[in-house]
């Protein structure tokens, strides 16, 4: 099955190497499918996702919030996820 839309998000891990604190950043994707949203660690049926929203942190980052029946899941994104939210809203209207 092909994803309707994919939204990149960042995972930041802190490691200490040779007594030096290092931040490692990796890029993952949130995939929007007809029946589910899949991240690198989580999978949600579309019926479980109640809403999506985001908040600007700075000119470089936003926080994307997935409001689900399991709670709110937060993802750090580099650009406003307007298109991802728009595609989700279109999809939810069909349910």
Domains of the chain: 5-93 (2.30.29.30)
Which pLDDT belongs to residue 59? Answer: 86
Distance CA 19, CA 51 (A): 42
The DSSP output letter for 83 is H
Which pLDDT belongs to residue 80? Answer: 93
Task: Find out whether 44 and 68 touch, Cβ atoms under 8 Å.
Answer: yes
Which pLDDT belongs to residue 57? Answer: 92
Tell me the two tokens of residue 92. Answer: 């939810």
Which pLDDT belongs to residue 94? Answer: 86
Percent composition of the chain: helix, strand, coil (DSSP 3-state, to 5): 15, 55, 25
- Which is more confidently placed, 90 or 59? 90
Tell me the two tokens of residue 30. Answer: 């949130």
Which pLDDT belongs to residue 95? Answer: 77
pLDDT surpassing 90 at residue 28: yes
């Amino acid at each position: 099955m092909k994803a309707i839309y994919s939204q990149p998000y960042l995972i930041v891990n802190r490691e200490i190497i040779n007594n030096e604190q290092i931040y490692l950043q990796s890029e993952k994707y949130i995939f929007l499918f007809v029946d589910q949203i899949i991240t690198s660690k989580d999978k949600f049926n579309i019926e479980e996702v109640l809403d999506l929203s985001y908040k600007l942190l700075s000119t470089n980052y936003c926080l994307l919030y997935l409001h689900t029946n399991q709670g709110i899941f937060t993802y750090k994104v580099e650009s406003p996820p307007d298109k991802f939210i728009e595609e989700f809203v279109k999809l939810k209207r069909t349910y």
